[in-house]
């Protein structure tokens, strides 16, 4: 293949040279938008969600899988679901989860003595949620991390995280690879699977 | 969907009723003002004569209002100071046809009022006031037998106002009215409008949060109170002065950018003239002209100087020192470069801006803005006679205000500008100065090319509309527009309830006035105060619309590259401006009525 020269001619008509027609055209376009938005019903197809308006709840607009502030879930007996397996803190790319384990005294599992997330370091990737085998950590609060005055306030403790929590009815530790067959009506997304 | 476009709830009736009552009472005042007292068969124009020590002879016209010819039998001067006045011309008995005018010239002997120094016997140059009255005896010359003698009187006044009462006090009042009630509010409004309008043009919402809570109700008129919030923020921000700046020049620069922008408003006429003590009367153009000359009134212009436009160029050029010095004194290479760009740009465009108005000066033959507006209303507006000059001036004016597409000095989107090192209210002065300049350029375009405070087609004069039809058309048009805007504002935004109601009501009153005029022919004899208000509102609306247009241009066009900017200035605007001057000069030479006096 030979390398050729392709000439591109810029067409400059007299109308382009004196700017004015093009300027007028632009002004008409922007003025049309201005009047439509100011005195009319607004541009069709553009519906602005007015975050921050007193009567607008952001929760109503976020998608279900929006990643908000973390929370820790309870078991049905009110204790924390987390078994301090360290999966989340291991997978966390920001290394912002700090866990210290303690004994649960039920001869089965551990529990976190300390569970701390530094929300300022968190990059909101959601990997912790994916990694958790117990449905213990979730980001489905649909709330932003609020502005804080000191850095310490953005470091959430286990108590802070549990405050947002709710009882989860998932089987602790999961049902194993056959979970769909074992509890068909647990997951509404796969009815009768 | 469209929860933000939800229609507002119906206005509460009590508030609406109060507003309606207030506006209706204003309407009653306007409509109920007594028109021309038409019992006398003739009247004087002007209605009173005011002499100053430097005006020895003044003219007055007797206008025959009646259906029959009038015979002027004689003149009689009455009053304590009648000996100081005399009829100089037009004193012979004569007959004035219906609708005709008879011109009389009156003289004053000013020596009669001058105080004489007791000790030396010399004239002191100090004058006292004096009053007299001219009576003109009239007789209806219709039927010889049924002739009735009548007389009309003209108050004469001699006064020698001091410099303070003639110039200083009116000027201070006018400065306060113009700057505090128009320029500064409009300029601060523009800081908000800039963001709001760009949002509206770009399908965004824009600033809408600031508001006040009154009696538990949150009032946020489209976020208008962002003006106040921004001002407070500017005032309370830390004012940081970098270590190695040139202290004196660094401090001076913001004022050099801001003060000239305000000072040039001195020459802008925002109305014709105000006659003291005659606000409720119907005046003629002769009355207003007398007041515009400073006798018995004052022109609505802070400083009426013959070289008005030269004054503007002289003062406005100072603003480029502000930008250049800000860049130079900041001890920052980016600010320095911004300042250099600013000085190059402003100097280039000042040449074009100066030449672009020469055409208008040739057409109207004056440098004084008040006279310029008068000349436009007597012939045609500048935009008709000088369309090219208008375009050039508008483009160069946008470059002078350093706004997109000419915003290289500041370059707010990416390059760094000359006020880089300024913070707090010092930056605020640059920022506000830019908006004051926008208002000024709009006022200048309105004065030079859009007939200032006058309405087009000679439809509005010193005594009101020139015919009832114009009044009906004007009020119907303005009313329909206001109602349209008000109703659509009400429907479009939940925050515009009050604005929408007020606009709709004012529009409805305009429509009512139009209907009133259709039935009564009202509108041709308006009180002087109302005429002034109409003129000032006309001027204000023109200026506001031009500001809006400048913002529209600013948010429509991308920025020029630096070489394009210079090319446009030196190779585009300047030759066109020169061509405009030459063509206008040739046209004026061949079309001027008195061209024969030229060799
Ligand atoms: S969202 Fe990502 S970054 Fe944040 S805590 Fe979870 S894993 Fe770490
Ligand atoms: S992955 Fe889940 S169970 Fe494991 S430590 Fe994290 S939150 Fe606890």
Query: B515-527: per-residue pLDDT in tens?
Result: 888 888 777 777 8
Domain of B412, in residue numbers:
167-239+246-462+550-591
What's the pLDDT score for residue B462? 79
A&B contacts, CB < 8 Å? 60
Same-domain check for residues B222 and B119: no
Say if CB B80 and CB B131 are below 8 A apart.
yes
Rounded Cα distance, B144 and B135, in Å: 23
Tokens read off for B181:
């009630």
**Centroid of chain to Cα A154:** 17
Q: How far is Cα A180 from Cα A161, in angstroms, rounded to an integer?
A: 29
Radius of gyration of chain A (CA): 27
Mind telling me how many Å the CA of A76 is from chain B's nearest CA? 39
CB A89 within 8 A of CB A79: no
Model confidence at B597, in pLDDT bands (50, 70, 90)? very low
Give the per-residue pLDDT at B417: 82
Q: Which ligand sits closest to the CA of A155? A: 1
B326 and B391 part of one domain: yes
pLDDT of residue B17: 65
Q: What is the pLDDT of residues B425-443, one digit of tens each?
A: 888 888 888 899 999 999 9
Contact between chains at A38 and B200 (C-beta distance less than 8 A): yes
Using a CB-CB cut-off of 8 Å, the residues of chain B touching A56 are 3
Give me the residues paired with residue B217 across strands.
B214
The answer to whether A37 contacts B391, with C-beta atoms less than 8 Å apart, is no
Query: How far is residue B537 from each of residues B300, B433, B457, measured CA to CA in Å?
Result: 13, 24, 17
Evaluate if residue B146 carries a pLDDT over 60.
no
Structural contact between residues B472 and B465, judged by C-beta atoms closer than 8 angstroms: no
Same domain? B315 vs B381: yes
* Same-domain pairing of B155 and B273: no
What pLDDT, on the 0 to 100 scale, is given for residue B493? 65
Instruction: Answer yes or no: is B377 within a domain.
Output: yes
Q: For chain B, what is the domain count? A: 3
- Indicate whether B408 and B284 sit together in one domain: yes
Q: Which ligand is nearest to the CA of A135?
A: 2
Does A22 lie at the interface with B, CB-CB under 8 angstroms?
no
Do B488 and A39 count as a contact with CB atoms less than 8 A apart?
Answer: yes
Alpha carbon B493 to chain centroid, angstroms? 32
C-alpha A85 to ligand 2 mean position (Å): 5
Domain final residue pick, B515, B532, B549: B549
pLDDT reported for residue A85: 92
**Highest-pLDDT range among A25-29, B74-78, B593-597:** A25-29
CA distances (Å), origin B365, targets B362, B376, B441, B588: 5, 11, 21, 10
| pLDDT over threshold 50, residue B215 | yes
CB contact (8 A) between residue A40 and residue B391 = no
**A83 Cβ below 6 A of ligand 2:** yes
Closest-CA distance of chain A to residue B3, Å: 9
Q: Which residues of B touch A (CB under 8 A)?
A: 1-5, 197, 199-205, 209, 218, 391, 484-485, 488-489, 492, 552-553, 555-557
**Fold that domain A71-164 belongs to in CATH:** Alpha-Beta Plaits (3.30.70)
B78, containing H or E segment:
strand B70-78
Q: Are residues B117 and B206 in the same domain?
A: no
Ligand 2: residue of A71, A82, A101, A108 to mutate (most ligand atoms within 8 A of CB) is A82
Do B125 and B273 sit in the same domain of this protein? no
B508 lies in some domain? yes
Residue nearest to atom 8 of ligand 1 (CA): A92
Nearest atom within ligand 2 for CA of residue A97: 6
| Average pLDDT over chain A, rounded to an integer | 84
Q: Is residue B396 part of a domain?
A: yes
| A41 in B contact zone (CB under 8 Å) | yes
Contact A20 B391 (CB under 8 A): yes
Q: Which residue of chain B comes nearest to A53, CA vs CA?
A: B209
Domain shared by B481 and B528, yes or no: yes
Pocket test for ligand 2, best of A108, A133, A134 (most atoms within 8 A of CB): A134
* pLDDT tops 70 at residue B164: yes
User: Would you tell me how many other CB atoms lie within 10 Å of the CB of residue A164?
Assistant: 17
Nearest-Cα distance to chain B for A56, in Å, is 9
Answer yes or no: is the C-beta of A87 below 6 A from any ligand 2 atom: yes
Domain ranges across chain A: 71-164
Cβ–Cβ gap B209/A52 under 8 Å: yes
The answer to whether the beta carbons of residues B220 and B226 sit under 8 Å apart is: no
Q: DSSP letters of A30-41?
A: HHHHHHHHHHSS
What average pLDDT score do residues B362-384 get? 87
Task: Say how many Å lie between the first and final Cα of chain B, rounded.
Answer: 77
Q: Could you tell me if B390 and B506 lie in one domain?
A: no
**Rounded to the nearest whole angstrom, what is the distance from the C-alpha of residue B125 to the centroid of ligand 2?**
101
B3 pLDDT band, cuts 50/70/90, is very low
Q: Which atom of ligand 2 is nearest to the CA of A72?
A: 7
> At B61, is the pLDDT very low, low, confident or very high (cuts 50, 70, 90)?
confident
Give the model's pLDDT for residue A90.
Answer: 95
Reading the block at residue A49, the tokens are 């969600």
**CA quadruple A90, A93, A95, A100: dihedral, nearest 10:** -20
Strand segments (E) across A9-168: 71-72, 97-103, 110-118, 137-138, 155-156
When CB atoms are compared, the residue of A31, A39, A41 closest to B552 is: A31
Residue B533 has pLDDT above 50, yes or no: yes
- Contact by Cβ (8 Å): A184, A177: no
B137 three-class SS = strand
| Mutation target vs A (from B2, B4, B197; most A CBs, 10 A cutoff) | B4
pLDDT at position B6, please? 42
B201, B482, B550: which to substitute to probe chain A, counting the most A Cβ within 10 Å? Answer: B201
Is there a single domain that holds both residue B427 and residue B325?
Answer: yes
The predicted-structure confidence for B244-275, as pLDDT tens digits, reads as follows: 889 899 999 999 989 998 899 989 998 888 88
- pLDDT attached to residue B379: 81
Ligand nearest to the CA of residue A85, numbered in listed order: 2
Whether residues B77 and B109 fall in one domain: yes
The mean pLDDT value for B82-108 works out to: 78
Residue B33 has pLDDT above 80, yes or no: no
The pLDDT, as a whole number, for residue A92 is 96
Judged by average pLDDT, the poorest of A37-46, B344-353, B578-587 is A37-46
pLDDT single digits (tens) A142-185: 888 878 899 999 999 999 999 888 888 777 666 667 766 776 66
CATH of the domain at B147: 2.60.40.10
- pLDDT at residue B31 greater than cutoff 80: no
Question: Does a structural domain hold residue B8?
Answer: no
Burial class (CB in 10 A: 0-12, 13-18, 19+), A150: exposed
Mean pLDDT for chain B overall: 82
- Nearest residue of B to residue A25, measured between CA atoms: B556
How far is Cα of residue B599 from the mean position of the Cα atoms in its chain?
Answer: 39
- Over residues A80-132, the pLDDT tens digits come to 999 999 999 999 999 999 999 999 888 778 899 999 999 999 999 999 999 99
3-state class of B579 per DSSP? helix
Residue B144 has pLDDT above 70, yes or no: no
pTM of the predicted model as reported, rounded to 2 decimal places: 0.79
User: What DSSP line would sit under B361-419, residue for residue?
Assistant: HHHH--S-HHHHHHHHHHS--HHHH-HHHHHHHHHHHHHHTT-TTS-TTT-TTSS--TT
Residue B287 or residue B549, greater confidence: B549
Question: From CA B157, how far away is CA B133, in angstroms rounded?
Answer: 8
Question: Does residue B530 sit in the same domain as residue B574?
Answer: no
Residue B5 lies in a domain: no
ipTM computed for the complex: 0.77
Contacts of A54 in chain B (CB under 8 A): 218
Cross-chain Cβ contact B218/A54 below 8 Å: yes
Any residues with CB less than 8 A from the CB of B86 and at least 6 apart, and which? B77, B106, B107, B108, B109
Q: Cβ contact (<8 Å) for A54 and B3? A: no
Torsion of CA B318, B323, B326, B328, to 10 degrees: -100
For residue A69 and ligand 1, the question of a CB distance below 6 A is answered with no
């Amino acid at each position: 293949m030979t390398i050729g020269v392709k000439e591109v001619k810029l067409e400059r008509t007299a109308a382009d040279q004196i700017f004015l027609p093009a300027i007028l055209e632009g002004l008409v376009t922007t003025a049309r938008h201005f009047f439509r938005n100011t005195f009319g019903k607004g541009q069709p197809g553009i519906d602005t969600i007015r975050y921050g308006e007193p009567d607008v709840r952001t929760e109503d607009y976020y998608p279900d899988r929006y990643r908000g502030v973390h929370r820790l879930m309870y078991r049905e007996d009110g204790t924390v679901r987390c078994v301090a397996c360290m999966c989340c803190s291991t997978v966390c790319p920001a290394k912002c989860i700090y866990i210290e384990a303690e004994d649960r005294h039920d001869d089965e599992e551990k529990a976190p003595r300390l569970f701390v997330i530094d929300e300022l370091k968190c990059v909101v990737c959601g990997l912790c949620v994916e990694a958790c085998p117990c449905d213990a950590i979730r980001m489905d609060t649909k709330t932003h991390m609020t502005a804080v005055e000191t850095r310490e306030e953005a470091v959430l403790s286990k108590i802070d995280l549990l405050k947002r929590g709710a009882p989860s009815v998932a089987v602790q530790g999961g049902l194993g690879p056959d979970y769909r067959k074992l509890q068909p009506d647990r997951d509404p997304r796969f009815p009768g699977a | 969907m469209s929860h933000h476009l939800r229609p507002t709830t119906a206005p509460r009736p009590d508030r609406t009723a109060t507003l309606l009552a207030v506006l209706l009472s204003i309407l009653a005042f306007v409509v109920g003002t007594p028109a021309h007292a038409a019992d006398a068969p003739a009247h004087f124009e002007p209605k009173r004569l005011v002499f100053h020590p430097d005006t020895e002879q003044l003219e007055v016209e007797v206008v025959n209002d009646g259906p029959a010819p009038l015979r002027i039998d004689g003149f009689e001067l009455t009053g304590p100071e009648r000996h100081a006045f005399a009829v100089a011309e037009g004193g012979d008995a004569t007959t004035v046809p219906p609708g005709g005018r008879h011109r009389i010239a009156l003289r004053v002997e000013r020596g009669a009022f001058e105080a004489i120094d007791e000790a030396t016997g010399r004239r002191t140059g100090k004058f006292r006031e004096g009053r007299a009255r001219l009576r003109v005896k009239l007789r209806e010359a219709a039927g010889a037998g049924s002739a009735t003698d009548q007389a009309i009187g003209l108050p004469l006044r001699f006064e020698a106002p001091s410099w303070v009462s003639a110039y200083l006090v009116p000027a201070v009042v006018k400065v306060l009215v113009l700057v505090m009630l128009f320029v500064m509010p409009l300029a601060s409004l523009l800081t908000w409008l800039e963001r709001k309008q760009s949002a509206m043009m770009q399908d965004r919402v824009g600033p809408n949060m600031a508001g006040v809570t009154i009696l538990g109700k949150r009032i946020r008129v489209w976020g208008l109170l962002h003006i106040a919030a921004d001002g407070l923020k500017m005032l309370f921000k830390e004012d940081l002065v970098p270590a190695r700046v040139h202290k004196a020049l660094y401090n001076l620069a913001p004022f050099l950018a801001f003060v000239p922008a305000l000072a040039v408003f001195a020459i802008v006429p925002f109305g014709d003239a105000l006659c003291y003590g005659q606000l409720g009367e119907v005046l003629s153009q002769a009355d207003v002209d007398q007041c515009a000359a400073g006798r018995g009134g004052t022109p609505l212009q802070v400083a009426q100087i013959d070289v008005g436009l030269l004054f503007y160029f002289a003062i406005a050029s100072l603003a480029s020192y502000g930008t250049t010095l800000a860049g130079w004194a900041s001890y920052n290479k980016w600010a320095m470069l911004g300042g250099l760009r600013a000085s190059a740009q402003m100097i280039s465009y000042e040449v074009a801006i100066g030449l672009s108005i020469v055409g208008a000066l040739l057409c109207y033959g004056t440098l004084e803005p008040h006279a310029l507006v008068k000349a436009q209303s007597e012939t045609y507006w500048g935009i008709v006679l000088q369309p090219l000059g208008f375009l050039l001036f508008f483009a160069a004016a946008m470059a002078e205000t350093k706004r997109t597409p000419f915003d290289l000095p500041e370059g707010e989107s990416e390059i760094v500008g000359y006020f880089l090192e300024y913070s707090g209210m010092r930056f605020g002065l640059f920022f506000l100065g830019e908006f004051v300049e926008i208002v000024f350029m709009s006022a200048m375009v309105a004065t030079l090319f859009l007939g200032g405070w006058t309405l087009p087609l000679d439809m509005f004069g010193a005594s009101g509309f020139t015919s009832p039809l114009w009044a009906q058309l004007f009020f119907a048009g303005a009313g329909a527009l206001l109602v349209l805007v008000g109703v659509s504002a009400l429907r479009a935004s939940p925050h515009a309830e009050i604005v929408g109601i007020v606009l709709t009501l004012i529009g409805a009153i305009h429509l009512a006035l139009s209907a009133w005029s259709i039935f009564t022919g009202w509108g041709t004899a308006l009180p002087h105060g109302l005429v002034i208000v109409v003129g000032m509102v006309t001027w204000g609306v023109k200026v506001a619309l031009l500001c809006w247009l400048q913002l529209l241009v600013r948010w429509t066009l991308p920025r020029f590259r630096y070489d394009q900017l210079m090319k446009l200035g030196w190779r585009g605007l300047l030759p066109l401006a020169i061509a405009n001057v030459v063509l206008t000069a040739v046209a004026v030479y061949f079309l001027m009525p008195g061209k024969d006096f030229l060799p």
